[in-house]
Amino acid sequence: MARTRTTAGHEDGAADAVDEGLLVASQIDGLAMARHVVGFTPLATVSRAEFIADLAPVFDHYLTGHLNPA
């Protein structure tokens, strides 16, 4: 029996949880590279609080919103 994720408003099971986790992980990886390795100025100079505040809605959508297949 497949697990369901009612918090996301749909019942697509564990596969969606993996996809959502991968979206968050890839976003974090790219942002860390741009901010700390490359030193991309807008990302490298913004405060931690502002950085988190800007990204929180994106991660919230990835984890709890509906993801439309491409």
pLDDT tens per residue across span 7-33: 444 455 667 778 888 888 999 999 999
Phi, psi dihedrals of residue 25, rounded to the nearest 5°: -60, -40
Say whether pLDDT at 50 is over 90.
Answer: yes
Q: What is the pLDDT of residue 1?
A: 37
In sequence order, which ranges of the chain are alpha helices (DSSP H)?
14-32, 41-45, 48-64
Mean pLDDT of 33-62: 89
Nearest to 20 by CA among 8, 29, 11, 30: 8
Mean pLDDT of 49-67: 85
The answer to whether 67 and 16 have CB atoms below 8 angstroms apart is: yes
CA angle 28, 34, 38 (to 5 degrees): 145
Distance of CA 42 to the CA centre of its chain: 19
